Chains A and B, each alone.
Chain A
């Protein structure tokens, strides 16, 4: 846990996004919208709610909330709110876990 915790919020963390996302179940990423699937999957990111810690993973989406797997953060509607605490998109930050 502590190694993981140390990486968390590391200033260089963003450069690790691509490899981590590629490792995670590559077959599951279905990608709507523009961009070739491979390119899009390669840049899948995670976003954390700064208020409650909820994680939005672009690769997994939120199918139960009507957001397909592979939906990029930018493509989530502006009026979407955090399912755990109800804050808006502006209260999320990109993270690497």
Chain B
């Protein structure tokens, strides 16, 4: 029998392996990864300085250890060239691999806006453990970092790098921290928390270009649309993530923002499944660990012969900004309603109610994060 083939060795790929092996010890499984195949947890990449963890220390297992522990084959540094869904075959640069089932756990790409300047090639993004290792290396002995983007990743890195002793400049065109996730008073609380750590905000302008310093070419100068020039040692782009849909689209699978799946994580091709950051499950693109784990458990059952839809309960997102902790349960897009906001210092309790008065989302900062579980019980499941 052909193996189950999993493309991707991030949390989605390896957790599918782990959950599947709890149910089926024998069926051959092959994991293909373009990375070095070490097992790590992506959320930990944005707390590495606080916890003083190098890339090697964040690696929980080598690919060899994963292979042995779960009785699977892990092929590293493999760039998949294509998928032939009729023949149930993954095309590799010099080879191919036939599958019984195929799992796409491809993750997401970081998206960087178009920038000009002679130092654009030196702008970092940290999207996997190998990126993180290079980023740490570039920061060795340096002092100042400019972060492009004040969303989840940008704010987490701003907090973490400040904890690590770096001066952080943060550029966010939308004018406040976490603008897509939080109502304004909660954004302000996070901003104050980070400011107290020493983060310097540049709210409003866009980054236009990144140049080498004129006097000191080791320095990078980020040019903003309002004419400001920010000098720093390193520039980190943390603008956003885009699901990796390229090879799925090329293979004729249906895609939209992500790879489209039904509630059982089945794509439009027979025996091909998708989960994690690359997937759009019944319209939900949720690049977070909680939905990913629920998906891995359901998919493991399906792969073991018991077709199982995934259920998404309430899906709160914890943002790792200890300077002002945040938990948010995002409001469904285009839902009409009102925020009810209580505020005291950096503690903000914001509850979003729809026109019928039902709680449909919340944002909690500071001490209010303790109310998470109480509010979760009042919220409807995202995808029952």
Q: Hey, which bits of chain A sit against chain B, CB under 8 A?
A: 1-2, 5-6, 8-9, 50-54, 62, 64-65, 81, 83-87
Q: Can you list 11 A-B pairs, Cβ within 8 angstroms, ordered by A?
A: A1-B50, A2-B165, A5-B163, A52-B41, A64-B372, A65-B373, A84-B289, A84-B290, A85-B290, A86-B292, A87-B293
B15, B43, B163: the one contacting A52 at CB < 8 Å is B43
Q: How far is the CB of B276 from chain A (nearest CB, A)?
A: 13
Given the complex, which residues of A lie within 8 Å of B50, measured CB to CB?
1, 5, 8
**Contact-residue size bin, chain B (C-beta under 8 Å from the other chain):** 20 to 34
Tell me if A64 and B51 are in contact (CB < 8 A).
no
B6 contact set on A, CB distance < 8 A: none
Q: Tell me which of A9, A51, A65 contacts B41 (CB under 8 A).
A: A51
A residues in contact with B44, CB < 8 Å: 50-53
Q: In the bound complex, what is the Cα–Cα distance between A1 and B53 (angstroms)?
A: 15
**Pair B43/A51 contact, Cβ less than 8 Å:** yes
Would you call B11 and A51 a contact (CB within 8 A)? yes
Main secondary structure of the interface of A (DSSP, over half): loop
Q: Which of B283-300 contact A (CB under 8 A)?
A: 288-290, 292-294
What's the minimum C-beta distance from B14 to chain A, rounded to whole angstroms?
Answer: 11
CB atoms of A64 and B290 under 8 A apart: no
Q: Is the CB of B373 within 8 A of A64?
A: yes
Q: How far is the CA of A33 from the CA of B173 in the complex (A)?
A: 55
Q: Give the distance to chain A from B265, nearest Cβ to Cβ, in Å.
A: 16
Output the nearest chain B residue to A52 by Cβ-Cβ distance.
Answer: B43
A47 CA to B35 CA, complexed, in Å: 30
Which residue of chain B has its CB nearest to the CB of A48? B51
B374 interfacial by beta-carbon distance below 8 Å: yes
Are A9's CB and B51's CB within 8 A? yes
Residues A54 and B165 in contact, CB atoms below 8 Å apart: no
Lowest 7 A-B CB distances belong to which pairs? A64-B373, A86-B293, A85-B289, A51-B41, A86-B290, A84-B318, A52-B43
